[in-house]
Amino acid sequence: MQKFTPDPKRWAALALLCAAQFIVILDTSIIGVALPAIQADLGFSASGLSWIFNAYVIAFGGLLLLGGRLSDLFGARRIFTTGFVILTAASLLAGLATSQEILLAGRALQGIGAALIAPSALTIVMRLFGHNGAELGKAFGFWGAAAAAGGSAGVFLGGVITEWMAWQWTFLINVPLGLIVLAAIPAVLRKSERARGKVDWFGAITVTGALVSLVYAIVTIETAGLGSPLILSLLGISLALFVIFLIAQRVRREPLLPLGIFKAPNLAAGNLVMALLGAAWIPLWFFLNLYLQQILGLSALASGLALLPMTILIMIVMVGFSGKLIGRFGPKTNLILGLLLMGASLIMFANLPLDGSFVINVLPASLLAALGMALAYIPATMSGMAGAKPEETGLASGLINTTYQIGSAIGLAVMVVISTAGLDHGGVGAQGVADLLEGFQAAFQGAGIVAAIAALATLVLIRGSAAQREVPVG
């Protein structure tokens, strides 16, 4: 048997892949602060403005599974490169947009590029470091830290750019970053092996249609209402397409999603927990930002700075300690502990006062949440990819990214509905702010329940010894 030789450029490659992860997450958060300026410049309505975010999320979440499969069939490096070409060109288009239609088209194309980048990058990480458990733990630490940094940098840079430059640069910033990544790819990334097979385009169309319909329904629940004909029709279409997709996957010789992949230890359970993790974490981040700005009265820039301690702690724990902790106690123990800490922080957030202090009320809970996320994210990712065959790592990475995105979208939509239920939209002054806080508290409580369910699911469904065997870290 030929001895495996590690890629001598694997750490340089990891730096490039983490930069890609940073950019993808950055794109989901950087435009939030710039939305009022975009609305004033291009004339978006209040409801239409949400589609600047939704266009990206729908394309991203809907195409992740296809992006993972394409990585397996055509080589992860090739799909990674293609994704960055699309993302860079789309960012230029969005940054130069002079109409609503062009901006939304650019955002959708950004989502398509990100859907190719995310699973292919994670596939390359697994193939570079999967031979060594200790190195894989460190690599996942940097990978997770890059995601956390991208989320916070997006909020911070969005505030800086909007206040001191122009909203167009929230998109144009990707152009030089993308060109740097594209220039570095030939030097640090080796060509990936291609798997034999064909693209299951029927499966790709049906599952993408199902995911797009589902995400579209989720992001429009707030404006259309859960029981509206539009939402019910979209959910019905999504369910029908999912059923057709599953039937097709059972009968096709080369399916997009071989259902046998779920026989791998922990893969199905890991994806479920990852979806629940996203459903707890994204609402936490979303409503904490709103509390800082709408209750405490912080500016967008000050709010971004207030979230930096969370990011710094996540990066320190993921890079410096996660690998060692997983090696000593196993992925399952770390995952349960992380979810419980996140749940505890959400209980603290659910009791935030109207006249709260950042240092006394927000900072301790936010650091506890950051510690929970830092402990949970990497084990959840490992469990979701555990046991996948080498030729299916792209598919597994697309699947774990998809479940996180769909879980995040569902969780946020549900918590937004909870936060606005019973809200007196005509309330003004102190009463209006009090009602707003009550809605935020209800959303934090709901997200805390999700975190508790995720911890219970981990305890019952994830096999600790199997996870340790499949992805050893130490």
pLDDT value at 318 more than 70 = yes
Q: Which residue has the higher pLDDT, 199 or 174?
A: 174
Calculate mean pLDDT across residues 109-133: 83
| pLDDT tens profile 263-273 | 766 778 888 99
| pLDDT tens profile 338-389 | 999 999 999 999 998 888 888 888 999 999 999 999 899 888 888 877 666 6
pLDDT value at 203 more than 70 = yes
Q: Write down the pLDDT at residue 149.
A: 75
Calculate mean pLDDT across residues 59-85: 85
| pLDDT tens profile 324-340 | 788 788 888 899 999 99
Q: What is the DSSP string of 344-381?
A: HHHHHHTT--TT--IIIIIHHHHHHHHHHHHHHHHHHH
Calculate mean pLDDT across residues 148-152: 73
Q: Which residue has the higher pLDDT, 455 or 49?
A: 455
Long-range contacts of 35-40, Cβ-Cβ distance < 8 Å, separation of 24 or more? 37/162, 37/166, 37/167, 38/103, 38/167
Spatial neighbors of 176 by CB under 8 A, at least 6 apart, are none
pTM (2 d.p.):
0.76
Q: What is the DSSP string of 404-444?
A: HHHHHHHHHHHHHHHHHTT--TT--HHHHHHHHHHHHHHHH
**C-alpha 22, offset from chain centre:** 11
| pLDDT tens profile 10-37 | 888 888 888 888 887 777 777 766 766 7
Distance CA 118, CA 115 (A): 6
Q: What is the pLDDT of the chain when averaged over all its residues?
A: 80
Q: Which residue has the higher pLDDT, 311 or 115?
A: 115
Calculate mean pLDDT across residues 447-471: 77
**How many C-beta atoms lie closer than 10 Å to residue 25's C-beta?**
21
